[in-house]
Structure 1
Amino acid sequence: MDFTIEEFRTRIEKTQALMAKNNLPVLLVHAPESITYLSGFRMLGFFMYQALIVPASGDPVLVVRDVEQPTADITSWVKERSVYIDIEDPINATQRALKKMGLDGATIGVEYSTWFLTLDRYETLKRLLPNAKFVREPNIVRELRLIKSPAEVEYLRRASRIAEKMVDAAFKASKVGASERDIASAITVAQIQSGGDGHLEPILMTGPRTRELHGTWTDRILEQGDSVYMELNGVVKGYWSKILRTGVLGKPSDHVRKASEVILAALNDGISRMRTGAHAGEIDDALRQPVLKAGLRKSYYHRVGYTMGQLYPPSSGEYLREMMSGDTWTLEAGQVFHMLVIGGGVGFSETVLVTDNGPDILTRYPRQLIEL
């Protein structure tokens, strides 16, 4: 298991305390990140139906596909399971478990903010449990996941070291005559050899493609003067750390140099403000407004900071908190954010832990325009 049983039990106890506060006798969890957070169960087959049933007291029940039980044996501390096979509707396993627990007529808190409970399955749940009352739960597990434990932070630190090695390998492979595919290969080798888990393909663009936001590698051949833009993820035990860097083959143009100066100054200023009690909107202004004032973008509406933690593809951000202009919420110690500033084909970012004393920057690759 990736954490001690004591840590998992503490998470369950906190979940059940919040359930009691919200008068929920049972919580039905479908988000794979939340299932892993509470049970430890982690596997590649998360695209198939799975669920965790958390009662008001006692241990949870894992709803799992039959062929995934060996993985559950290894990764999860939860012993009680409701198993389904591929020739049946998996919702039957959830219905059987709730009936066995005497909760098939209870008020059931359901996660609405997950891609993994489809409308079809939700309708099936309601049909198979006609006496139950389904309500939207107040993001109980999502809110608990926001504050990282020391063990979680350690995984994020390790993931940050891996991300740095991936960036370094990418820049070393960035040469005139090399292809974006060559760079992507170097990134993947560094990821695996440095101890990283698998994840999404890297965001990687060069030359005129650097104004894309989420592009990945092509067969494009690098030329002198090209910018190399990458956003890479180091992953350890499912915990993701992000880093965004920009380099240039040869001498950078005046535009790239000036854009880098503006963006780096904004990023430095914004990160320096990150501490317990800081207002997200003020940090957002420090990151966003200099880019607009410098004319690097005509508009800047997307997020400049969002939480990171344990993730499953296709998402590469936790997004439990997102920094946008005008936000009034405040930062808390133990939250981890990906802080990024992008404009004019140039971008830089860091993964940052919030503490009472200020920012703890987890990613430590040189924060500068890299001349290759």
Structure 2
Amino acid sequence: MQKRFSLKEYKQRLKKVKTKMEDEGIDALFVSNPSSMNYLSGYDAYSFYVPQGLIVIKEQNEPHWIGRKHDANGAKLTTWIDNDNIHYYTDDYLHARDKHPMEIVANLFKKMNKHRCRVGVEMDQHYFSAKDYVTLKNELPDVEFYDATTMVSNVRMIKSNQELQYMKNAARNAEYAMQTAVNSIQKGVAENQVAADIYHAQIKGGEGIDGDYPAIVPLLLSGVKTSSPHLTWGGEVFQGNEFITLELAGVHKRYHSPLARSIKLGQPTAEEQRLETAAREGLNQALDFVQPGKTCGEVAQVWVDEVKKHGFEKDDRLGYSVGLSYPPNWGEETASIRLGDETVLQPNMTFHLISGLWEKNNGAECSETFVVTKNGCEALANFPRELIVKQENKNNIYHGY
């Protein structure tokens, strides 16, 4: 299989992570986040529901892959790692009462003479369980474990030119999926049908760019459900007067470019228009402020000040770094665009900025994925930010991104 990045780029990534390890006094690192596994090795499979990981040793030129025996051939096909560095456990270790896959991982550490040193593990993420940690501690009693949850993710924040191209391709797919949704949403159509159309567009991709499954489902909300951003669709049929918010992502080579818009079937009410205008203007002002040297917290403050002019107050997180990802989240779980976050923006960082206002009975949302440039930022998608109004028997929606 053709690798998605050059061997040179993979080795540069590994070198940067080893520099972080050196700075933190770590001798070995166990990486279980599938996004970080992919970033360092190229490994790409839907296998992260069982224990797996990479072992990075400071003195070694390649990481070691360890996972289920069923998936070892997948590692050989998708990674740049030598076959001798691909290890596995057998299925009798899965969900067993008397043994655990982390025993095999611990044996690898012992074999490499890393059982009396400082080892970094990703303690606070979805793919490293309490049982994983307890088993490693029991099997490696002389190891000093260190919380390295964001070590690789922090390196991932600054994208290479190839990564940015994948994200721009993902943005084309986001435009295609959003336009598909807008065309699909109409009176008499069920929410689940619209969701199915979105999924088809996301996976098919647009303009000849192959798509992929997203790390988060399309968040298609209508009526009172727009007051809560993470509800999902149902079987309700659109009646022709709903206010709708939609957040989705285009995906290409596992790189995500999220996008959110507000849609109205029929004529918007004054309150709906006020909500949507505040959200959109907040987004515009925040994006205009972005430039290298500013902090995430300063960007959030600009947004807060703008929506306050429209009569709204909100101190929630507005966004996060984004890029390569697997379910259940497309964020990189590092920097957040929120008040007090002191992360300094640097060129080639990528963020999803979500201008959302969720009130008691309704809400509006408008978002962009952007890359920090030398002089400001660039929104990756090209899709109008204005409220999309669809009136029956009127062809007044946005066409042809």
* 2:147 matches 1:144: no
Q: Alpha-carbon deviation of 1:151?
A: 1.0
Cα distance in structure 2, aligned partners of 1:81 and 1:280? 39
Cα distance in structure 2, aligned partners of 1:86 and 1:43? 17
Q: Alpha-carbon deviation of 1:34?
A: 1.4
Amino acid in structure 1 at the alignment position of 2:166: Y
Residue 237 of structure 2: aligned partner: 221
Q: Give the 3-state SS of the residue equivalent to 2:332 in structure 1.
A: coil
Per the normalisation by structure 1, the TM-score is 0.95
Amino acid in structure 1 at the alignment position of 2:53: A
Cα distance in structure 2, aligned partners of 1:193 and 1:135? 42
Q: Alpha-carbon deviation of 1:65?
A: 0.9
Q: CA RMSD in A?
A: 1.6
Q: Quick one: which of 291, 308, 324 aligns to 1:310? A: 324
Q: Alpha-carbon deviation of 1:41?
A: 0.9
* 2:330 matches 1:330: no
Q: Quick one: which of 365, 381, 395 aligns to 1:347? A: 365
Amino acid in structure 2 at the alignment position of 1:365: F
Kept after mapping to 2: 8 A contact 1:84/1:92: no
Kept after mapping to 2: 8 A contact 1:288/1:304: no
Amino acid in structure 2 at the alignment position of 1:207: G
Q: Give the 3-state SS of the residue equivalent to 2:353 in structure 1.
A: strand
The 4+ residue runs of structure 1 with deviation greater than 6 A are: none
Residue 111 of structure 2: aligned partner: 100
Q: Give the 3-state SS of the residue equivalent to 1:320 in structure 2.
A: strand
* 2:257 matches 1:252: no
Q: Quick one: which of 44, 63, 66 aligns to 2:69? A: 66
Kept after mapping to 2: 8 A contact 1:272/1:358: yes
Cα distance in structure 2, aligned partners of 1:227 and 1:18? 47
Cα distance in structure 1, aligned partners of 2:376 and 2:182? 30
Cα deviation, 1:68-94, whole Å, max 9, x if unaligned, reads 012112211112022101113211221
Cα distance in structure 2, aligned partners of 1:354 and 1:138? 24
Q: Quick one: which of 188, 197, 212 aligns to 1:197? A: 212
Q: Alpha-carbon deviation of 1:293?
A: 4.4
Q: Give the 3-state SS of the residue equivalent to 2:333 in structure 1.
A: coil
* 2:304 matches 1:288: yes
Q: Alpha-carbon deviation of 1:273?
A: 1.1
Cα deviation, 1:284-307, whole Å, max 9, x if unaligned, reads 0221233344334xx523211211
Cα distance in structure 2, aligned partners of 1:287 and 1:337? 15
Residue 33 of structure 2: aligned partner: 31
Cα distance in structure 2, aligned partners of 1:39 and 1:192? 24
Cα deviation, 1:241-279, whole Å, max 9, x if unaligned, reads 100001111221111222222221111010011111012
Per the normalisation by structure 2, the TM-score is 0.88
Cα distance in structure 2, aligned partners of 1:17 and 1:330? 20
Number of aligned positions between the proteins? 370
Residue 136 of structure 2: aligned partner: 125
Change in Cα spacing, 1:219 to 1:85, as seen in structure 2 (3 Å) is same
Unaligned runs of 5+ in 2: 94-99, 391-401
Q: Alignment identity in percent?
A: 31
Amino acid in structure 1 at the alignment position of 2:72: Q
Residue 397 of structure 2: aligned partner: none
Cα distance in structure 2, aligned partners of 1:371 and 1:69? 50
* 2:12 matches 1:10: yes
